[in-house]
Amino acid sequence: MLFVSIKSLMILDSIEKSKQITILIFILAVVGLIAIYFAVINIKPMELNIASIENSMVDRLVKINGTIGNIRKSKTNNFYWTVSDGSNITVPILDNKFKKLSVKQGDSVGIIGLVTLYNGELEVMPKEIYVE
């Protein structure tokens, strides 16, 4: 009888420790997710001159400022801007929210976007555009 109650106490103690570990893991997961959230919303793009953009920066968030030198429209109704600050880069305008912007050749813009490589050419895929 004493053996059974010691074994029962050991099982209950094991269950209690398991609950504590589960609660600890849950708390750590929530804290980790909160930390990731704040890290992501505080990511600042690198502000660069267009000439300094290179292949090693593909998939990095950058900010460029320049003047729209050329706007061309494709057969698929996408636009491609050439943005210049002394050097040129193509900015593909694929998102409908950016297609509605009223811009023309010679307008100054600030662009936050991802550096991408398309057909061997570097581009900046916009996430935000500021017409200055």
d(CA 69, CA 96): 21
Q: Whole-angstrom Cα distance, residue 58 to residue 40?
A: 18
Which token pair is 35?
A: 């930390």
Same-domain check for residues 71 and 121: yes
Q: Please indicate, yes or no, whether residues 29 and 66 belong to a single structural domain of this protein.
A: no
Do 51 and 37 belong to one domain?
no
d(CA 125, CA 114): 5
Instruction: List pLDDT tens digits, range 6-23.
Output: 666 677 678 888 888 899
pLDDT digits (tens, 9 = 90+) for 24-39: 999 999 999 999 998 8
Residue with tokens 């909160």: 34
Question: Quick one: 56 and 118 in the same domain?
Answer: yes
Give yes or no: residues 79 and 24 share one domain. no
- Do 69 and 34 share a structural domain? no
- Residue 2: pLDDT over 50: no
Residues 118 and 86 in one domain: yes
Domain containing residue 73: 46-131
**pTM exceeds 0.85, yes or no:** no
By the 8 A CB rule, do 51 and 98 touch?
no
> Using one digit for the tens of pLDDT, what is the confidence trace for 71-115?
999 999 999 999 999 999 999 999 989 988 999 999 999 999 999
Termini Cα distance of the chain:
84
